[in-house]
Chain A
Amino acid sequence: MMNILTMQTAKNHLTGIRWMLSTFFCTGVLVWMFANPAQAALEIEISGGSAVQIPIAILPLAEPANAPGKSRIHEIISNDLKGSGMFRVLNTSGVPSLPATAAQIKYTDWTALKAQGLSIGDVQQAPNGNLKINVQVMDVLRQTPLLQSTYTVAPSQYRHVAHLIADQIYEKFTGQPGAFATRIAYVTKAGKRFTLQIADYDGFNAQTLVSSNEPIISPAWAPDGSKMAYVSFEKKKPIVFVQSLYTGERKAVANFKGNNSAPAWSPDGSKLAVVLTYGANSQIYTISADGANLQQVTKSSSIDTEPAFSRDGQYIYFSSDRGGRPQIYKVPVSGGSPSRVTFEGGYNVSPRFSPDGKYLTYIRNDGGSFKVAVQDLGSGDVKLLSTGSQDESPSFAPNSRTIMYATRVGGKGTLATVAVDGLVRQRLSEAGGDIREPAWGPAQAAPK
């Protein structure tokens, strides 16, 4: 039994930040909308934690009165670091006077708290309505600056900058990149209405990309984060669309007789693996991202579906019942003989790679319960990570440390994350509708 050092609950309410995206255009049953912040409040519940957590003090920044949103920078950073399970954010209420500048720091106050890190800073008004956000992080033991981060940005970038700084702190202390300044995509169902949404990794700044009275499934981010592939049933059958996030340009890239589904991007973003049926069972094909150059990859009378490219782009991993029960196989992208990948457990589907190529995550039916499994591709070790009974759609964070998946709680679809070591879990749930089919997007660039 692992030690669980913290059990925390944080409720974050969305603040009114909107992405600066170009106007989308309308087509068919689909309606483009800007985010309605009131609809998108996601609650985050955190449980568990690493056995060794880094104690850190994140002090409030001096901020102008008109700083955007309800959450302040130090609160956003604190939530990110706590949620990772790798940090213990210290209560500073017993410290007599909190420093505003490096010169004011009295290190004995912080060594007494056993802090390893101390974050200070301020936010100032800058020309053209911008904000200048300045954060400094000190190594308390060495009494030296560890990190100095300054961004001058539009107020709409406030939360994004806080996540970027949290990523930098995470990396300084753990040696690994963070994944806080990232986005996720997911599908909501409220009544008969389906929407494909994108949001920050913590559920803030949710925005509807596609809205339809017919189902939407299987969103997949292009590797550069600029496009989304997904399956829409708007024509009363599954068709694969690719759409630009920024221009709204949208194209049916796979619309053949029968089903068109399960899009997965090649690592270079040039093509997709898709599943087509024509008049028979599901088979895997590749097609250029613009819908040209269709090539069949698997040729069987079995079900072959849920393709995922290996990180080197040479293989496609997929689910198949060719051996009787569903298992994961791999096949060269150019076609050929598939070989079996999973041997433990009678039912393994939905393979997805970690971006660093070290892990494969998938769904295992464990005695009637569908759970997230992770396989260490080096050692071959498999761990069951999730605790639900209908867990599905696992997707790795860009830093390969955390897996997001869909689960059901109290009869309602919600999203959850679990660290790849199984020690930290978070749950995101949207008030109201059902939420499913998460896909964690690539790391976002810093604002210029």
Chain B
Amino acid sequence: MNNNIWKIAALALVLTACKSTPMNPAKVEDSSVTKPISNSQNNGNDGSAGTNKIDIKTVDVDSGKDQLSAAELAKRQIFFDYDSDAIRAEYKDLVANHAKYLAAHPQTKVVLQGNTDERGTHEYNLALGQRRSVAVKNALNVLGVSDSQIETVSYGEERSKQNCADDDCFQHDRRVDVVYGQ
């Protein structure tokens, strides 16, 4: 966990460094429709660092879209054991990667959709799926993501495969999906 916090801090520093660049406030709107200025170009304009923070946000959104397609953020499913909301060790990095991104992009919103397998009642499974999405939210909170960026919801068993014969099949249904908003 500490390791992850350091990673976030490091990433945040890098992103902050990359942010502090655009020269001309009038180009704010344009930058969203034209190709974003590359980081290297930005770094070449350090002289204007910190002159306008509104500009800085615009560049973040564009660079963020690139990052969202990056490999470490493309994984958006966290699987759980039966009747459990504990995040397994193998998903700590996945959660940490999303936490880094969200902490660095406080305007970005994410929906955590909890899911369960079909065993049990629809409404109780909705509550169990919610417990899983809350577990992921709590992990994101610890890694610096604000509550205002996260909505936890549950689909319960509503998207489960039906008539599973073994746990490999049920396993697929016991998950949280990380869904990015606009």
Q: Are B162 and A279 in contact (CB under 8 A)?
A: no
CB < 8 Å: which of B118, B126, B147 contacts A259?
B126
Counting CB contacts under 8 A, is A236 at the interface?
yes
> Which of B8-16, B20-28, B59-67, B127-135 lines the interface with chain A?
B127-135
Q: How far is A237 from B126 in the complex, measured between Cα atoms in Å?
A: 11
Counting CB contacts under 8 A, is B79 at the interface?
no
B-chain residues with CB within 8 Å of residue A303 when the two chains form the complex: 124, 127-128, 130-131
Q: Are A350 and B123 in contact (CB under 8 A)?
A: yes
Residue of B whose beta carbon sits closest to that of A362? B121
Q: Are B126 and A326 in contact (CB under 8 A)?
A: no
A-chain residues with CB within 8 Å of residue B162 when the two chains form the complex: 411, 434
Counting CB contacts under 8 A, is B100 at the interface?
no
Contact A349 B124, CB 8 Å, known A238-B153, A238-B154, A277-B130: yes
Number of residue pairs across A and B with beta carbons under 8 Å? 97
Counting CB contacts under 8 A, is A258 at the interface?
yes
Q: How far is A436 from B122 in the complex, measured between Cα atoms in Å?
A: 10
CB < 8 Å: which of A215, A233, A261, A281 contacts B123?
A261
Binary contact track A23-41/B, C-beta < 8 Å → 1, others 0 = 0000000000000000000
Instruction: Say which size band chain B's interface belongs to.
Output: 20 to 34
Binding site for B on A (CB under 8 A): 215, 217-218, 233, 236-238, 257-259, 261-262, 275, 277, 279-282, 303, 305-306, 319, 326, 349-350, 363, 365, 370, 390, 392-393, 411, 434, 436-437
Counting CB contacts under 8 A, is B120 at the interface?
yes
B-chain residues with CB within 8 Å of residue A370 when the two chains form the complex: 119-121
Q: How far is A279 from B154 in the complex, measured between Cα atoms in Å?
A: 11
Q: How far is A236 from B153 in the complex, measured between Cα atoms in Å?
A: 9
Tell me the B95-134 residues at the A interface (CB within 8 Å).
111, 113, 118-124, 126-128, 130-131, 134
Q: How far is A317 from B151 in the complex, measured between Cα atoms in Å?
A: 28
Q: How far is A437 from B121 in the complex, measured between Cα atoms in Å?
A: 9
Tell me the B123-171 residues at the A interface (CB within 8 Å).
123-124, 126-128, 130-131, 134, 137, 147, 150-156, 158-159, 162-163
Q: How far is A393 from B125 in the complex, measured between Cα atoms in Å?
A: 13
Q: Which 5 pairs of residues, A with B, have the shortest CB-CB distance?
A: A215-B158, A282-B127, A237-B153, A303-B127, A411-B163
Q: How far is A361 from B128 in the complex, measured between Cα atoms in Å?
A: 22
Q: How far is A370 from B124 in the complex, measured between Cα atoms in Å?
A: 13
Residue of B whose beta carbon sits closest to that of A365? B120
Q: Are A392 and B127 in contact (CB under 8 A)?
A: no
B-chain residues with CB within 8 Å of residue A236 when the two chains form the complex: 111, 113, 153
Chain A min CB distance to B71 (Å): 26
Q: Are A217 and B163 in contact (CB under 8 A)?
A: no
Chain A min CB distance to B167 (Å): 13
A-chain residues with CB within 8 Å of residue B154 when the two chains form the complex: 238, 259, 277
Chain B min CB distance to A103 (Å): 57
Q: Are A363 and B153 in contact (CB under 8 A)?
A: no
Q: How far is A282 from B132 in the complex, measured between Cα atoms in Å?
A: 12
Q: Are A217 and B111 in contact (CB under 8 A)?
A: no
Q: How far is A390 from B170 in the complex, measured between Cα atoms in Å?
A: 15
Q: Are A437 and B153 in contact (CB under 8 A)?
A: no
Q: Are A258 and B130 in contact (CB under 8 A)?
A: yes
Q: Are A261 and B119 in contact (CB under 8 A)?
A: no
Contact A215 B155, CB 8 Å, known A236-B111, A282-B126, A306-B121: yes
Q: Are A279 and B152 in contact (CB under 8 A)?
A: yes
Q: Are B121 and A277 in contact (CB under 8 A)?
A: no
Residue of B whose beta carbon sits closest to that of A408? B163
CB < 8 Å: which of B122, B131, B151, B153 contacts A218?
B122
Residue of B whose beta carbon sits closest to that of A370? B120
Give 30 A-B contacts (CB < 8 Å), ordered by A residue. Answer: A215-B158, A217-B156, A233-B158, A236-B153, A237-B111, A237-B151, A238-B153, A238-B154, A258-B151, A259-B154, A261-B123, A261-B126, A277-B154, A281-B127, A281-B131, A303-B127, A305-B123, A305-B124, A306-B121, A306-B124, A319-B124, A319-B127, A349-B124, A350-B123, A350-B124, A363-B121, A365-B120, A370-B121, A392-B122, A436-B122
B-chain residues with CB within 8 Å of residue A437 when the two chains form the complex: 122
